[in-house]
Amino acid sequence: MECDLCFKECNAIRCPYCGKYFCSTHIQPEVHNCEGMVLDQ
């Protein structure tokens, strides 16, 4: 699985807000400019 932001091959985690997969560096919604978080506000 690769990160949807930096495309690095890693143990990616699924974001519960947008459903995309990110590495541990980019999993926080504010770091990957999360679509789900924007809609929530």
Sites of contact with Zn ion (CB under 5 A):
3, 5-6, 15, 17-18, 23, 26, 34
Write down the least CB distance from residue 41 to Zn ion, Å: 13
Handedness of CA 21, 2, 28, 36 (dihedral sign): negative
End-to-end alpha carbon distance in the chain? 29
Write down the least CB distance from residue 2 to Zn ion, Å: 8
* 5 vs 13 by CB, closer to Zn ion: 5
Question: Whole-angstrom Cα distance, residue 3 to residue 39?
Answer: 22
* 13 vs 17 by CB, closer to Zn ion: 17
